[in-house]
Chain A
Amino acid sequence: MRKWLVWCLLISSTLGAKAGNPACSKDTIHQAAQENTGHEQFDPGVFIMEHVMDSYEWHIMTIGETHISIPLPVILYTKERGLVVFWSSKFHQGHKAYKGFAVAQEGPNKGKIVEVDVNGEEDPSKSLPVDLSITKTVFAMMMSLILLLIIFISIGRQYRKAPRKAPKGLQSLMEPVILFIRDEVAVPSIGKERYERFMPFLLTIFFFILFNNILGIIPVPPGGANVTGNITITGVLAFFTFLITTFSTDKHYWKHIYNEEGVPWWLKFPVPLMPFIELLGVFTKPLVLCIRLFANILAGHFIALSFIVLIFIFGQINWIAGYGVSVISVLFYIFMTILEILVAFIQAYVFTLLSALYFGMAREAEH
């Protein structure tokens, strides 16, 4: 009975979300079509890219000609003009310049904020301003971090308040996950003596990735932003892993790289082939970590959006075809969403597990 209820809820929520998304998508198409002056045709590529890419404002939907979006702060710095801060709504979806800045619509700096001259043309003589804007990705990332803070500090307080009591509420939801990270990820990969110092980082990245993955599946704000499918975010996470790995190494780790035992000497001298490959591995490990998460989440978004886009492609041919395809598309979208929930957990787990393994490898050689 309960199972059945959960399924009902899941499906209805997904459908509800869908009901919101096409409305949003439709108008974005309209907008995209408008922006791509010249061809009025719906461009699925542009539509999908707009959804997965970062932007200066958080577009929710467009009704008629009115765009509904969350304005986000644009923070710019130039040598001549110093710090310039204003809301992204001043750009009017990128159509207008404000205070001599505009979002470049074409050219090599497309999508970036450039300084413009009085005619609204990009000024090639000036270099790009330092852009520290709170973009959609940054905003969504910060919101997920605030969510993390609220949830886990309240849980932490519960633990502090009643340390010997059985967990309850949110605490009992998170405790098995925390124990899983500790007992199945950290301890086997790092070892019983050293795992404790890495636990805060492992827990933080696991929940950060998990929260953002799941928020990314929800189509309405505060979800819907593509945080873990952004290569910058995953890159920074992987870089943290790289830094922690490198700073917890010992001489055995480096000896293993420069002078691996059991490797024929002619692979090390005169051409240091093996050391080179091993050294490369030091950097490729975090790089792969970064790309795996990015690609997996991005691909999930791509596929889910592609099913939605199909509705509009067929809808352009014939409205009956559009409605007909929508049934299949929505079914596939539901399937993809459920798959994405699975992927959300798997990718968070994989990233955490591999980070833990790298931390473990930083000192494994001494055994």
Chain B
Amino acid sequence: MGLVTPDYGTIFWMVLAFGLVFMLLKKFAWKPILNSLKNREQSIREALEAADVARGEMAKLQADNELVLQQARKERDALLDEAREMRESMIEEARDKAALEAEKVVLKARKQIENEKLSALSDIRKQISELSIQIAEKVLRKELSNAADHESLIQEMLKDIKLN
């Protein structure tokens, strides 16, 4: 049992006891401890990764939403534009049509007026001729009482007719 000389009895017991304890600890302590530490780390890592993925998906979803929203906005704008255009074209068309119609009406009115005028004229002519006949009748009735005047009148009329 020297201070620096190894003792074989101690070696024997040390190898035996340490070996046994090592085996027992390996099986019942280190393995479960290290395994569960590893599992725990892995599960934490996985959870973090899953969270990252979820966050990414969320961001993507948000981006998608944004995209959809933008598209919808664009579509709305397009619709509005279209509607505006349509409205304008409709107004234009209506205006054109109205103008055409008005022209037609005017034309028709003008024609009618012309007709009316013509008929009025012919009426007037007729009336004038009737009036003139009546006048002539009256004049004649009055004039014929005087033979000389009658004669001169006929002469005058004949002259007029010839001139015509």
Which one of A53, A148, A179, A200 has the greatest number of beta carbons of chain B within 10 Å?
A200
Q: Which residue of A lies closest to B22 (CB)?
A: A204
Given A55-B1, A233-B10, 10 extra CB contacts under 8 A: A132-B12, A138-B14, A141-B18, A156-B30, A157-B32, A159-B37, A164-B40, A231-B6, A232-B6, A232-B7
Closest 9 CB pairs of A and B: A152-B29, A156-B29, A232-B10, A159-B36, A200-B26, A163-B36, A200-B30, A145-B21, A156-B32
| Contact in complex: B10, A138 (CB < 8 Å) | yes
Q: Which residue of B lies closest to A175 (CB)?
A: B37
A197-235 contact mask (Cβ, 8 Å, vs B): 1 or 0: 001110110001000000000000000000000111101
Which residues from B are CB-within-8-Å of A112? 1
Can you give 22 A-B contacts (C-beta < 8 A)?
A49-B3, A53-B1, A54-B10, A131-B9, A135-B10, A138-B9, A142-B13, A145-B21, A152-B28, A152-B33, A156-B31, A159-B33, A160-B36, A164-B40, A178-B34, A178-B37, A200-B22, A200-B25, A200-B34, A231-B6, A233-B10, A298-B3
| Contact in complex: B3, A149 (CB < 8 Å) | no
| Contact in complex: A135, B24 (CB < 8 Å) | no
Number of residue pairs spanning A and B whose beta carbons lie under 8 angstroms apart: 124
Known contacts A152-B33, A156-B32, A175-B37, A236 near B9 by CB under 8 Å: no
B43 contacts chain A at the CB level, 8 A cutoff: yes
Q: How far is the CA of A141 from the CA of B10 in the complex (A)?
A: 10
- Min C-beta distance of A153 to chain B, whole Å: 5
| Contact in complex: A208, B10 (CB < 8 Å) | no
| Contact in complex: A138, B33 (CB < 8 Å) | no
Among candidates A133, A135, A199, A201, residue contacting B34 with C-beta atoms closer than 8 Å: A199
Which residues from A are CB-within-8-Å of B5? 231
| Contact in complex: B39, A141 (CB < 8 Å) | no
Which residues from A are CB-within-8-Å of B9? 131-133, 135, 138
Which residues from B are CB-within-8-Å of A145? 17-18, 21
A334 contacts chain B at the CB level, 8 A cutoff: no
A155 contacts chain B at the CB level, 8 A cutoff: yes
Q: How far is the CA of A253 from the CA of B14 in the complex (A)?
A: 29
Residues of A119-160 at the interface with B, using a CB-CB cut-off of 8 Å, are 131-135, 137-138, 141-142, 145, 148-149, 152-153, 155-157, 159-160
A40-74 contact mask (Cβ, 8 Å, vs B): 1 or 0: 00000000010011110000000000000000000
Which residues from A are CB-within-8-Å of B11? 232, 235-236
| Contact in complex: B1, A159 (CB < 8 Å) | no
A117 contacts chain B at the CB level, 8 A cutoff: no
Q: How far is the CA of A142 from the CA of B16 in the complex (A)?
A: 10
Q: Which residue of B lies closest to A174 (CB)?
A: B33
- Min C-beta distance of B41 to chain A, whole Å: 9
Which one of B24, B25, B36 has the greatest number of beta carbons of chain A within 10 Å?
B25
Main secondary structure of the interface of B (DSSP, over half): helix
A111 contacts chain B at the CB level, 8 A cutoff: yes
Among candidates B25, B31, B32, B35, residue contacting A149 with C-beta atoms closer than 8 Å: B25
Which residues from B are CB-within-8-Å of A178? 33-34, 37
Q: How many of chain A's residues touch chain B, expressed as a range?
A: 35 or more
Q: How far is the CA of A52 from the CA of B4 in the complex (A)?
A: 12
Residues of A167-217 at the interface with B, using a CB-CB cut-off of 8 Å, are 175, 178-179, 182, 196, 199-201, 203-204, 208
B109 contacts chain A at the CB level, 8 A cutoff: no
Known contacts A54-B10, A134-B13, A141-B13, A231 near B30 by CB under 8 Å: no
Residues of A276-326 at the interface with B, using a CB-CB cut-off of 8 Å, are 298
- Min C-beta distance of A229 to chain B, whole Å: 9
Q: Which residue of A lies closest to B10 (CB)?
A: A232
Which residues from B are CB-within-8-Å of A141? 10, 13-14, 17-18
Residues of A320-360 at the interface with B, using a CB-CB cut-off of 8 Å, are none
Which residues from A are CB-within-8-Å of B33? 152, 155-156, 159, 178
Which residues from B are CB-within-8-Å of A54? 1, 7, 10
Q: How far is the CA of A260 from the CA of B11 in the complex (A)?
A: 35
Q: How far is the CA of A240 from the CA of B18 in the complex (A)?
A: 10
Q: Which residue of A lies closest to B15 (CB)?
A: A236
| Contact in complex: B10, A137 (CB < 8 Å) | yes
Which residues from A are CB-within-8-Å of B24? 149, 153
Known contacts A208-B18, A235-B6, A148 near B25 by CB under 8 Å: yes
Q: How far is the CA of A52 from the CA of B2 in the complex (A)?
A: 11
- Min C-beta distance of B12 to chain A, whole Å: 6
Residues of A225-253 at the interface with B, using a CB-CB cut-off of 8 Å, are 230-233, 235-237, 240
Which residues from A are CB-within-8-Å of B39? 163-164
Q: How far is the CA of A160 from the CA of B34 in the complex (A)?
A: 10
Known contacts A53-B1, A111-B1, A131-B9, A232 near B21 by CB under 8 Å: no
| Contact in complex: B7, A200 (CB < 8 Å) | no
